[in-house]
């Protein structure tokens, strides 16, 4: 599965930068989307290739996901030297003390649980995922004709409570009492690590926010050196696109080889 000439040239130029942050979404990028999110597993070769890349000089690897930090760590099988960013930026593996919610936020979660219980009764087949800072309404296992109505109901619930942040995705709506965003989390991580360039790949609406944030980074030099890749179809702010998860793994293999050549040459 060869990369396009333009993408190959961009990968080789990126790999030659002194220090790199290579980050990726998990679901839809490193792991195929499945009806039950609890059954998600990385595509063959993806995590192994990223581990090889992380072992090279000047490379930091991060997974950035809407999943809870616990689920992201368990399902990805990521090694200890990866940075894991969960719950759209509100959880960070470098801060094991976890997410601290205020009394108001905890109270809002209790209200949310009550209202979502009613929503589940009204829309059979909906599954609600619990996260430390919110809840996610999943409709991937529902009849595709009935699913949109359940998502609309979830979005309307979020609109009724102005303290909630509503984040739509592929057959999901997340309702959170605390929110950072993948884009802000990535920019902050790049600043903390003081890397020269950032790579990010993803497939969903929240990843589009990350692509835009990296392009608009106040560090103009780092912004110009970014490499962003959309996985799959859909309108995108990313610079490049690959067809699916196996194609992204091939990109990571190419990046690993290019980085090895750049650091050993």
- Please report, for the chain, the start and end positions of each structural domain, with discontinuous segments joined by +: 5-97+181-264, 103-176
Residue 32's pLDDT is what? 95
**Of 128, 126, 120, residue with least CA distance to 140:** 126
Residue 1 confidence (pLDDT): 59
Which CATH fold would you assign to the domain 5-97+181-264?
A: Rossmann fold (3.40.50)
Residue 224, pLDDT score: 97
Show Cβ contacts of residue 135 under 8 Å, excluding neighbours closer than 6 positions: 109, 112, 113, 116, 128, 129, 174, 175
Pairwise CA distance, residues 188 & 74, whole Å: 24
5-97+181-264 and 103-176 share one fold: no
For position 101, what pLDDT does the model report?
83
Per-block mean pLDDT, blocks of 10 residues, the chain (265 long): 89 98 98 90 97 98 95 96 94 82 92 97 94 91 92 96 92 91 94 97 95 95 97 97 97 98 87
Side-chain-facing half-sphere of 108: CA atoms under 13 Å: 21
Rounded alpha-carbon distances, angstroms, from residue 218 to 20, 23, 193, 207, 221: 18, 19, 16, 19, 9
DSSP-assigned letter for residue 120? H
Report whether 227 contacts 199 (CB < 8 A).
Answer: yes
The pLDDT assigned to 264 comes to 87
Contact 248/25 with Cβ under 8 angstroms? no
In CATH terms, the fold of domain 103-176 is Alpha-Beta Plaits (3.30.70)
Contact 205, 168 (CB under 8 A): yes
Neighbours of 161 (CB within 10 A): 15
CA distances from 175 to 72, 145, 184 (A): 18, 22, 18
């Amino acid at each position: 599965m060869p990369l396009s000439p333009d993408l190959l040239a961009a990968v080789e130029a990126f790999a030659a930068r002194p220090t790199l942050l290579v980050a990726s979404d998990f679901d839809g990028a490193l792991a195929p989307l499945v009806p039950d999110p609890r059954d998600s597993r990385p595509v063959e070769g993806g995590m192994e290739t990223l581990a090889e890349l992380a072992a090279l000089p000047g490379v930091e690897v991060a997974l950035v996901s809407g999943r809870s930090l616990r689920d992201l760590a368990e399902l990805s099988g990521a090694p200890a030297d990866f940075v894991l960013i969960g719950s759209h930026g509100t959880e960070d593996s470098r801060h094991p003390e976890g997410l601290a919610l205020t009394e108001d936020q905890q109270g809002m979660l209790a209200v949310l649980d009550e209202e979502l219980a009613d929503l589940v009764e009204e829309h059979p087949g909906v599954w609600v995922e619990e996260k430390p800072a919110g809840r996610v309404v999943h409709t991937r296992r529902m009849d595709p004709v009935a699913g949109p109505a359940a998502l609309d109901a979830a979005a309307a619930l979020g609109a009724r409570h102005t303290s909630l942040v509503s984040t739509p995705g592929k057959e999901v709506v997340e309702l959170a009492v605390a929110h950072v965003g993948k884009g802000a989390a990535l920019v902050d991580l790049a600043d903390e690590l003081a890397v020269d360039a950032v790579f990010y790949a993803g497939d969903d609406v929240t990843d589009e926010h990350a692509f835009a944030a990296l392009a608009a980074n106040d560090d103009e030099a780092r912004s110009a050196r970014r490499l962003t890749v959309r996985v799959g179809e859909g309108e995108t702010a990313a610079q490049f696109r690959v067809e699916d998860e196996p194609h992204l793994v091939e990109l990571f293999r190419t990046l690993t080889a290019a980085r090895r050549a750049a650091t050993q040459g």
